[in-house]
């Protein structure tokens, strides 16, 4: 499982992270080129070349200190990606946890262990929001499209 996860996460390496937001418990990140797509409620919106949706424990760290987590306000999160930051490395774990290291000495950590639920269908997903195609989904004991 680790190999498949690593291969997918490598897709964000060297891409800028420019968008971040929340929808209930879900955190979303937008990477790469911006694309304009139709919005659900009419009009348009900008999405990234790749989007990462996380619905498990996560934190932003500098050195060994947590600088943001699930309890942080959206304005705190937005300052982390403004101006955009570039992902320089991705490190996957067998259980679906991972780290993304950025050029501003900040690390984004997703901790599947901290949110362990043996029946969870989805902890996180990576996909191309401007393209109709498969999503790479990591859930309890599984990873794939």
pLDDT of residue 8: 97
In terms of C-beta density within 10 A (0-12 exposed, 13-18 middle, 19 or more buried), how is residue 89 classed? middle
Model confidence pLDDT, tens digit, residues 98-107: 999 999 899 9
Query: Model-level pTM?
Result: 0.91
Model confidence pLDDT, tens digit, residues 83-119: 999 999 999 999 899 999 999 899 999 998 745 566 6
How far is the C-alpha of 72 from the C-alpha of 96, rounded, in Å?
Answer: 23
- Sorted by where each begins, the domain ranges of the chain are 2-144
Of the candidates 69, 74, 72, 84, the one whose C-alpha atom is nearest the C-alpha of residue 31 is 84
How far is the C-alpha of 144 from the C-alpha of 96, rounded, in Å?
Answer: 11
Distance of CA 84 to the CA centre of its chain: 14
pLDDT of residue 116: 57
β-partners of residue 111 are 57
How far is the C-alpha of 136 from the C-alpha of 4, rounded, in Å?
Answer: 9
pLDDT of residue 118: 62
Tokens linked to 78: 């937005």
First CA to last CA distance, the chain: 12
Does residue 30 contact residue 19 with C-beta atoms inside 8 Å? yes
**Polymer length of the chain:** 145
Does residue 85 contact residue 72 with C-beta atoms inside 8 Å? no
E strand spans, the chain: 16-23, 26-38, 44-54, 57-62, 65-69, 85-92, 98-102, 106-111, 124-127, 136-139, 142-144
């Amino acid at each position: 499982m680790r190999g498949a996860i690593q291969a997918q996460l490598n897709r964000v390496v060297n891409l800028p992270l420019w968008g971040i937001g929340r929808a209930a418990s879900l955190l979303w990140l937008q990477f790469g080129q911006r694309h304009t797509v139709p919005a659900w409620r009419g009009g348009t919106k900008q999405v990234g070349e790749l989007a990462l949706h996380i619905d498990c424990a996560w934190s932003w760290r500098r050195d060994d200190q947590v600088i943001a987590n699930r309890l942080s306000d959206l304005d705190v999160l937005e300052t982390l990606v403004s101006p955009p930051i570039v992902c320089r490395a991705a490190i996957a774990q067998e259980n679906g946890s991972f780290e993304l290291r950025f050029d501003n000495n900040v690390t984004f950590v997703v901790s599947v262990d901290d949110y362990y639920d043996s029946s969870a269908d989805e902890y996180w997903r990576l996909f191309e929001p401007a393209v109709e195609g498969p999503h790479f989904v990591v859930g309890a004991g599984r990873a794939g499209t």
